Structure 1
Amino acid sequence: MNNPAAFNLQVSIGAETLFTLFGFNVTNGLLTGLVGTIIAIVILVYTAVSVKRGTYNRFIGLVQWVFEGLLRQINDIIPDKKLAKKMTPLAITIFFVVMFNYWLSVLPGLDSIRVNGIPVLRSSAADLNFTLALAIITVVTVQMYAVRYLGVFGNIKRYIRNPFKDPVGAFEGALEIIGEFSRGVALALRLFGNSFAGEILLIVILLLTSYVASIVLPFFMLFELFIGFIQAYVFFVLTLIFTSLAVTHEAPTHDEKKKQTA
């Protein structure tokens, strides 16, 4: 039986710098993220062009089926059709970019290409900078649409209320402020934790199974591909839910109705 301690397994939680370009550190996570993003763009553009030309095959049908399923989810979660249409490009792009970047961590040999002992490619989904950037984009977009639909002061009222006139509302506003930060952190950490854990799992399984790795590893790789799809879908759905909650108007109270009538 192999001794796990003899493997000398070293894992880096952060992305590692490959080279510096004009004072900017280019990391392996950034490089892989660019590759994953390019793959997503190429596939979506290829599918769109093929559909316009009337060219179909199984791959195009699969991508179109996924796209239409995501579109139905957007229309179901966001009741405002105009807002749903505006959110479609961002939400669907996030889904495909996250999924392909997660799947890159499952590819065998991704960690084997090294320069000065540093792997050239590393899944950007396992880089906290990438997941945190996606979470910030999501939170900022939600706030932009909240301001557009509720107005600047209407959006502020979701968080700040007069504690003397409406103590319960003031408490709810404080919780909402905490909730905004916790949503962003949860979005980033959920994706990062799952992707990083998946990479470690595959490496450990590869080392432990040794000669039978070619038989055992494909089952775990398929499982990680499924997890990648689920994580991308969860990120996609939460983006829509946060947007829908932010632009939802509260029903006016009895006093407010009397004022409006007067």
Structure 2
Amino acid sequence: MATENAGSGPVEYIQHHLTNLHVGEGFWQLNIDTIFFSVLLGALIVFVAMRIGRGLRAETPNGLQNAAEGILEFVDEQIRDSFGSRAPKIIAPLALTILLWVWLMNFMDLIPIDLLPAIASGLGVEYLKVVPTTDLNTTLAMALFVFILTVYYSIKVKGLGGYIKMFLFHPFGKFLIPINIVMTAIDELAKPISLALRLFGNMFAGELVFLLIALLTLGATISASLLIWFPLQVVLDMAWIAFHILVITLQAFIFMVLTIVYIGMAHTQDDH
């Protein structure tokens, strides 16, 4: 059941949940909750990885080790599909980190929408957004990192001259260089932007659906109407959770695969 903020209606309730705990304003704003949960989930990955590494058993692997090996094989298969046997050493740990980290950040959306904010409110914290991937800063930062890696490998493989040549002569040849520069720049910049917006848009929309479902019992008191709306809210929540599990997994997978594909494209010798 949704917990009502004092004196708030549906609009205020949604705005409250979509407001980050932050310091600073404008360009210099830092979303403290986004940073906190991102670092916390990243530390969780490191902790679990260390536990698995210390407990490796070739003869009698435990369930956690089997799960980790399955994920590693899955990621390795995606890399082989794009790179074959020539993948740089950084690609496997990068792809694995993206898959696990993005999935865990997305998974925070399955925690009851009012639970952690209510706990934070009891501790004197007014705002708290617990899903880092519903913050465009998070998805843009990851996408920009992938973009920088793509540019780095493009220059490393093609050389600086080859990279510049890609902008000058693709896609219309040497007689339309100004148009080529604009078209190629748009094509290159569209990759990180679409990568960031796809993940952000899906997760933000998913969070909004949970908020709209929570509104069914916003500020409700014990009454006959509650006996109708609360069961409906539970059914809708369970149905959306079941669907959203597929969404959060698919979005983590897509982000990982596109990262592999973009860096793989940077390793091609030809100009597209």
Instruction: Bin the TM-score by the shorter chain.
Output: 0.7 to 0.9
Within a 5 Å distance, the mapping from 1:159-238 to structure 2 comes to 159-161=167-169, 166-167=174-175, 171-208=179-216, 210-212=229-231, 213-238=233-258
| 1:240 is the counterpart of 2:260 | yes
Partner of 1:32: 37
Listed as ranges, the gaps of 5+ residues in structure 2 are: 1-7, 218-228
Partner of 2:5: none
Number of positions where the alignment pairs a residue of Structure 1 with one of Structure 2: 244
Distance 1:181 1:13 in 2: 28
Change (3 A) 1:36 1:84: same
Query: Given that residues 14 and 127 in structure 1 are in contact (C-alpha distance below 8 angstroms), is that contact kept between their aligned partners in structure 2?
Result: no
SS of 1:122's equivalent in the other structure is coil
Partner of 1:44: 49
Distance 1:54 1:203 in 2: 48
2:81 partner amino acid: D
SS of 2:117's equivalent in the other structure is coil
| Same amino acid, percent of matched pairs | 23
Q: CA deviation at 1:46?
A: 2.5
SS of 2:65's equivalent in the other structure is helix
Distance 1:163 1:145 in 2: 20
Distance 2:58 2:176 in 1: 58
TM superposition score normalised by structure 1: 0.80
Query: Given that residues 160 and 174 in structure 1 are in contact (C-alpha distance below 8 angstroms), is that contact kept between their aligned partners in structure 2?
Result: no
Distance 1:101 1:211 in 2: 28
Query: Given that residues 28 and 120 in structure 1 are in contact (C-alpha distance below 8 angstroms), is that contact kept between their aligned partners in structure 2?
Result: yes
Partner of 1:131: 139
Residues 189-213 of structure 1 deviation map (CA, whole Å, 9 limit, x = unaligned): 1111111111111121233274123
Partner of 1:102: 106
1:15 partner amino acid: N
Partner of 1:250: 270
Q: CA deviation at 1:173?
A: 4.6
Compute the RMSD of aligned alpha carbons.
3.1
Distance 2:262 2:173 in 1: 28
Distance 1:112 1:187 in 2: 32
SS of 1:113's equivalent in the other structure is helix
SS of 1:51's equivalent in the other structure is coil
SS of 1:119's equivalent in the other structure is coil
Query: Given that residues 47 and 60 in structure 1 are in contact (C-alpha distance below 8 angstroms), is that contact kept between their aligned partners in structure 2?
Result: yes
Distance 2:174 2:197 in 1: 34
Q: CA deviation at 1:59?
A: 3.4
Query: Given that residues 18 and 120 in structure 1 are in contact (C-alpha distance below 8 angstroms), is that contact kept between their aligned partners in structure 2?
Result: no
Q: CA deviation at 1:31?
A: 1.2
Q: Judge which range, 10-19 or 69-78, deviates more.
A: 10-19
Distance 1:165 1:190 in 2: 32
Distance 1:188 1:90 in 2: 17
TM superposition score normalised by structure 2: 0.78
1:59 aligned to which of 53, 64, 68: 64
Q: CA deviation at 1:142?
A: 0.8
Residues 210-257 of structure 1 deviation map (CA, whole Å, 9 limit, x = unaligned): 412334322312322221111011011111111121221128xxxxxx
SS of 1:240's equivalent in the other structure is helix
Q: CA deviation at 1:24?
A: 8.2
Choose between structure 1 and 2 for higher RCO, CA contacts under 8 A separated by at least 6 residues.
Answer: 2
Q: Judge which range, 81-90 or 191-200, deviates more.
A: 81-90
Residues 69-117 of structure 1 deviation map (CA, whole Å, 9 limit, x = unaligned): 11111111123x3434331111211111111011012212233333456
Query: Given that residues 78 and 244 in structure 1 are in contact (C-alpha distance below 8 angstroms), is that contact kept between their aligned partners in structure 2?
Result: yes
Query: Given that residues 18 and 118 in structure 1 are in contact (C-alpha distance below 8 angstroms), is that contact kept between their aligned partners in structure 2?
Result: no
Distance 1:13 1:120 in 2: 8
| 1:91 is the counterpart of 2:95 | yes
1:236 partner amino acid: M
1:104 partner amino acid: M
Listed as ranges, the gaps of 5+ residues in structure 1 are: 252-262
